[in-house]
Every structure is written in C-alpha cells, then in structure tokens.
A and B are shown apart, each in its own frame.
Chain A
Amino acid sequence: MKNKGMYLLLLPGVLFLTLFLVIPIVMTIASTFYQEGSFTVQGYFTFLTDPYNLKILWTTLRVSLVTTIACILLGFPAAYYISKLGARKKGILLALAIFPLLTSSVVRSFSWMIILGKKGLLNSSLLSIGLIEKPLEILYTPTAMMIGLIHLFLPLIIITLVGVMENIDPDLLKAAESLGASRFTAFRQVILPLSMPGLIIGSILVFVGSLTAYTTPALLGGKQGVISTFLYQNAITLNDWHMASVIATIMIVITFVVIGLMNKIATKLNPKG
C-alpha cells in the first residue's frame, strides 16, 4: 500500500482540472456577488425581476419538462420491448439507438430544420394531402425545440432503461405469474418499481440536458430564447459579462439542485433493491 507514488499519479489530472475548471467556475460564481467592488446580490435581483428574463426561464423549464415526459412515454415501452429480445436483435437495436447519440447535435438538429421548415418535408406532405391550407410555422418555435430535444435525448433514455431492465431477474416475472398475476399486473408490480431508480436517473439526465442544451435551441428555437442561448447572447453579443455570470451561476445551481435531488431519490429507492 505504498501511497507516495499514488498521489503523484493523481496530481497532474487534479491540478489540471482545478486550474482550468474548478477555479474558473468558482470565480464565475463569486464574481456575481461583486459589483463595483462591493458585495451585492443586485445582479440576481435585476435578473429575477425582469419579466423578459423570467419568460426565458419559464420557456426553458417548460420545454425541458415536456421533453422529459415525452422521452419517458416514448422510451420506456421501447426499452421494455428491446430488453426482452434475444441477444442478436437486441444488439442491433441498441446499436441503432446509440448511433444518433454519437452523431453531432448539429447534424441532428439540422435534419429537423429540413423537416419542420416552412418549405420543409412536414409541411409539403401535409399540404399535398390537403390536411392543412397554409404551411405550419413550427420551425423557430419552442415546439420545434421540443421535437429536436426529444430526438436528441430519446436514445439516452432508451439505453439507460434497457441497461436497468436487463438487470431485473427474469425469474421475478415468472414468480409473479406463477402466483397468479396477469402479464399486466406483473409488469405493473414488478418491472415498473424495479425500473424506477433507473427511470429517475435517466429522466434527470434528460431534464438537466434539456435545460442546458445549446445547439438544438440555437438552430431550432429562433428568437425564442432559452437560458443557454441567452447566456451566449449576453456574453458575446451584448458583452454584459456580469449578467452572463449571473445566468451561468443560476444554471449551475439548477443543475446541482436537480442532481442532488436525483441522488437523494436514488438512495432512497436503493434498499428496495
């Protein structure tokens, strides 16, 4: 158990992250409390009392919530189906689910631009069928963002859930059925509760991811801002570093609160096994 060499192995990595990540983040947060040399929370006050800002926060939350729920509704059944397949089919479907994850978010969001635009695929098809009379304006709205984000995070939920469901002992279902439970009841009372921790973790990852996503809202959201694009705007376009830092800090706080919640819920659900 020679420990001296061990610290040497860890030092470069820790130093690097401290210097280039931890300290900048800490400084960013700290800077929000200082304006013109004195300690103040004025920045937050200004931010949180501006209705424009609140609208952005609300849009962000709204979009993230809908995205998360949609991902659960779409992903859970799909994951369940996949988890019950034989190894080969499962492998292929998983690979197909993972592939979009590894593709650039620019590519994925862009593909939706083609579909949702005024002259896009969706509109031209609906128009030609005669379902609508004039093109729907979906692109550059929160709806387009939601679709894009769902598309972005659905693979994540599916993969997480398949992983969780694979770990559920298949004998449990058989035990339930042998005791008289119908397929549906067995699902509800065995699969559902046991997938819950994984489901919660997956949802939180999707929720936090949607809250802080940049590319998809930037391409599909147009002028309807969310916090991440708002952060960029303030920093680069408006050059208001203080406001940008405030936004950044709020994003960090929300992220960590949500993750902290996840940890709490996950540990509470763990004893159930």
Chain B
Amino acid sequence: MQEKNRGLALFTLLVFVFLLGPLVIISFTSFEPGTVLKFPPEGFSWRWYENIFEVKMFMTTFGTSMFVSLVGNLLALLLGVPAAYALSRFQFKGKGLLNAVFISPVLIPGIVMGFAMLKYVIITYNLPIYAGLLIGHTVIMLPFIIRVVASSLSNFDFAIEEAALSLGAGKVETFFKVVLPNIRSGIIAAILIAFLESFNNVDISVFMTGPGVSTLPIQMLTYVENNFDPTIAALSVLLMIITAILMFIIERMMGLSYFTKR
C-alpha cells in the first residue's frame, strides 16, 4: 500500500514540476543581463524590467487592456447581475434556452467570435475598433459574471426579500439594502474572475486591433515574433504576480471551490 502511494506521490510531483517548472524558468530568465534568453541566466539584472516601461507600446496597450477590462467589466455587471438575479429567483419557460444563450460565449471558439464580431459588428455598423474591443470583452465577461453571481444566489433565502417588502421597502431598495450586501463577496469574486479572463484574452482581441489600438497580450505576441529578449520574461513575471494577488483575493471571497465545481 505504501509503495503505491509513494509511486503516485512521485508521479504527481513530476506532473506539478511539468506544470510549474516553465513558469519558474521564465521567472529566472527575466533577470538575465544579456540580450539573449538563456537558462540559467548568467547574472542578475533589473534591466529588462526597466525596459518594459520604456517600450511605449507596452504602456499604451497596458492602458488599453486595463480600460477595456474594467469598463467591459462594469458593462457586464450592469447586464449580468440583473440577469443572474432573474435566473435564480424565478421559474419560467425557456429558462434552459436563456441559460444556454448566456453561457454560449464560453462554448463558441473565441477566434470564431472575434472574427464574426469584426465582420458583422465593426464593419457593418462602421464602429471604431476600440468599440469592438469593448463589446467583445463584455461578451466574454458576461457568462462569468452571471455564473458566479447566480452561484452566490443559489443559497440565498429569498424570504428576506419578502420580509423587507412587508416592512415597507420598495423593490429596488430591497435589492440594494438586502440582497446585494449578502452577495457582496460573490460579486467581488465575479469581477476578479471576469477581469482575469478579459485581461488575458487573445482570441477575440487579435481581431480587434488596429492602428494604435491593441491589448497587452496581443502586443506581447507581436513583440515575441520580432524580438526574443528577456523583456517578455520580465513582463510575464509582473503579470504572474498580479494574477497571484487577484487569485488570493478570490480565494478569500469565495474559496477556490468555484473552480472545482463543474
């Protein structure tokens, strides 16, 4: 018995080395003082970290990514929270169909969505590419918001809404005073998860780029195709740190069970 367990433990260890090793390697290479990516690095230097801030395109696209992911998030909240509420609270015909529609952005290949949106939204309505980016990211964030908020509401005792009404509160007032405060952590988790999905997204953003408009991941892609220096490694490390922080906050808000439930 012990043998089997030790073998399995070793196997699992190797799997995790495989999973995390490359990320560790990339972290080390980011400190390489020379211009060629190599591992192990031949020294230690912050040079490439400084370089990030000097490449103008990184700064601009970082700003674009942040703007799109935050504003899109807000839009997704405005569209998604009421929808999640309605889906949790009421029973009605066609609920299954609506659920399918709301989850469709997750099922349809991102590349296909980006293409379809480019062709039939940007070009058809003659919208600026920035708008396309915003719309596209809102579309991919919407299912995450709805799913996480609906999940928070699944354990909600809606009787307290009726209690508030019986005491004289209006419907909207009840939502803000009684429902929202109790799903606060769920909403924060939803915002963070959606943000990460949007910020890291490539499949949709790749079609929604134009002169002067691009997102950070796309810019990184372009950079890598032309330069193979440790700047990307440094940038990757910074992004991983941000991811880790956000993940920590998500865990505090909702626990990581969100990811294991399917």
Contacts and interface: CB of A to CB of B under 8 A. Distances in A.
Touch A–B, Cβ below 8 Å: yes
B103 to A, nearest CB: 10
Interface of A: 1, 3, 5-6, 9-10, 12-14, 16-18, 20-25, 27-28, 74-75, 77-78, 80-82, 91, 93-108, 110-115, 117, 119-121, 124, 151, 154-155, 158-160, 162-164, 166, 183, 198, 201-202, 208, 211-212, 214-215, 218-219, 228, 231-232, 235-236, 241, 244-245, 248, 251-252, 255-256, 259
Contacts of B98: 10, 14
A81 B7 CA distance: 10
Nearest to B95: A10
A22 B101 CA distance: 8
Nearest to B86: A9
B200 interface: yes
B112 A25 contact: yes
Contacts of A158: 15
B217 A104 contact: yes
19 contacts: A6-B90, A9-B85, A13-B80, A17-B101, A21-B104, A24-B116, A77-B8, A78-B11, A96-B20, A100-B20, A102-B246, A104-B220, A107-B236, A108-B22, A111-B22, A115-B39, A154-B19, A158-B15, A231-B112
B160 interface: no
Given A77-B8, A103-B239, A228-B109, A201 B224 contact: no
Given A10-B83, A100-B23, A163-B261, A251 B116 contact: no
Nearest to A230: B111
B187 interface: no
B256 interface: yes
Contacts of A93: 12, 16
A236 B224 CA distance: 19
Contacts of B243: 99, 102-103
Interface centre among A9, A12, A117 (most CB of B within 10 A): A9
Interface string B110-143: 1111011111110000000000000100110010
A249 to B, nearest CB: 8
Contacts of A219: 221, 224
Given A24-B116, A96-B20, A99-B247, A232 B111 contact: yes
Interface in B213-262: 217, 220-221, 224, 228, 232-233, 236, 239-240, 243-244, 246-247, 251, 256, 259-262
Given A17-B139, A100-B19, A163-B260, 7 more contacts: A25-B108, A95-B251, A101-B259, A107-B240, A160-B262, A252-B109, A259-B107
B218 to A, nearest CB: 9
Given A28-B116, A99-B247, A91 B26 contact: no
Interface centre among B101, B135, B202, B246 (most CB of A within 10 A): B202
A106 B200 CA distance: 8
Nearest to A216: B202
Given A91-B256, A95-B256, A121 B39 contact: yes
Given A5-B171, A215-B202, A17 B109 contact: no
